[in-house]
Amino acid sequence: MGEDVFASFEKVILAKIGKLGKASSEPVDNRGKLLVDATVAEQSIKYPMDLSLLGEAREISENLIDELYALSDYTKKPRTYRRKARKQYLSLAKNKRPSLKVRRRGLRE
């Protein structure tokens, strides 16, 4: 994207806020640093733990199986052991600090 694209963006934005005549057409040579504070930005990012990723993947795959089954011609739904998988996941996820051995066993199952 070149200067002409940004100039058109600037014209549209300035027209919306009513300051179209006040913008200068001269190119500005800025020399400095822009400091941005990261604490101001919204943060809805969850830290990805192995166990939480596994639980989310399990839920997404269960929903995908449901959607595909609804579109298919099968009369009997495939077995997925949802209750058993959820129970095993929650038994591990509810531990405050599961040991390494317990965590590895839970990720393998």
Segment 8-43, tens digit of pLDDT = 878 888 777 776 555 566 677 777 777 676 665 666
The answer to whether residue 85 sits within a structural domain is yes
The answer to whether residue 55 sits within a structural domain is yes
The answer to whether residue 81 sits within a structural domain is yes
The answer to whether residue 44 sits within a structural domain is no
The answer to whether residue 90 sits within a structural domain is yes
> CB neighbours of 48 closer than 8 A, spacing ≥ 6?
none
What type of residue sits at position 27? Answer: P
pLDDT at 60: 92
Does the pTM of the predicted model rise above 0.75? no
The answer to whether residue 89 sits within a structural domain is yes
Work out how many domains the chain is built from and give that number.
Answer: 1
The answer to whether residue 60 sits within a structural domain is yes
The parent domain of residue 54 ranges over 50-108
The answer to whether residue 26 sits within a structural domain is no
Question: How far is CA 4 from its chain centroid?
Answer: 33
